[in-house]
Amino acid sequence: MSKIILTGAAGFIGFHTALRLLERGDTVLGIDNLNEYYDVNLKKDRLKILMDYKNYIFKEGDIADTNFLKQCFKDFLPEKVINLAAQAGVRYSIENPNSYIKSNIIGFSNILECARSFQINHLVYASSSSVYGANKKIPFSIHDNVDHPLSLYAASKKSNELMAHTYSNLFKIPSTGLRFFTVYGPWGRPDMALFKFTKSIIEKKPIKVFNFGNHKRDFTYVDDIVEGVVKVVDNPATINKNWDPIDPDSGSSFCPWRVYNIGCSEPVHLLDFIAILENNLGIVAEKVMLPLQDGDVPDTYADITDLQKDLKYEPKISVEQGIKKFVDWYKEYYEQ
């Protein structure tokens, strides 16, 4: 079993990933700054569950704090790192861009420097489906060019991929970026659609449906995401011996660097998604239909063939099953 530093450990995906690693016997040092982007109590309740494991250590702090992060690496001496710490959210990046520079750029540069200094075996980090930006060709493939982001959040994630490539090239650090597609499930983020819809519908408040409901999203249940993360962590990125500098592949490299899509690969129309939620709640939502928001893309659809081929990744949870699991958790957690 491995010693793993996991940043963003009190976050939605970080919490579920930590649970999986702890249950299989890894020793995990979780790092999180417990910021107030959304309800801190939800983060603390996630941490309470993790702290029951003897092989779990938690440090509160910010990855943008260079000295703090170096001390964590020095004390723990990890073999692998999973960086899930980030300022999330497309829309919030329009309102508060500086927080994205601090966490997603400065923070990630600190992660890379620590990975270099402490010679870790594998760096796995969160990218995002948002990097596909203005691309219209679907499904989105890791082999496609992604040079036209539509938000600073997307640009910061693309930057992470480029920064990691530099360190993989110069210092031979195996690194793998994971482009997550619309993750949902129990213990989810309150700023995301399913959580917001559920809360509003239960409280008999109208829900905002952007792009007049014409979105399609590759909704991916969190357990399927975690399955992909763990498979990737256990298989460090390697050199693509067939990489051609004349016709360069965007998803691999001549150095030990990779990116993967992690999604369900079954896009769901937003109105169908809402209908499934309504059926689980037994309430018909009042809908306020609004235009597409700045920074948003109309559709997402993950091509996951590379992850399937390389690591035998297969998502298992349907959107009907996943929404039910979320609603059951929400009602229990908030005593509805």
Measured distance CA(18)–CA(167) in Å, rounded = 25
Helix axes 152-171, 108-117, angle to 10 degrees: 10
Which residue out of 153, 221, 301, 330 is catalytically annotated? 153
Half-sphere exposure of 201 (CA within 13 A, CB side): 23
Q: Which two tokens stand for residue 227?
A: 């399955």
User: Bridge-partner residues for 176, per DSSP?
Assistant: 124, 258
Dihedral over Cα of 123, 61, 87, 229: its sign: positive
Nearest to 319 by CA among 228, 231, 229, 193: 193
Preceding omega of 139 cis (within 30 degrees of 0): yes
For the question of residue 153 being annotated catalytic, the response is yes
Distance CA 27, CA 123 (A): 16
Catalytic residues: 153
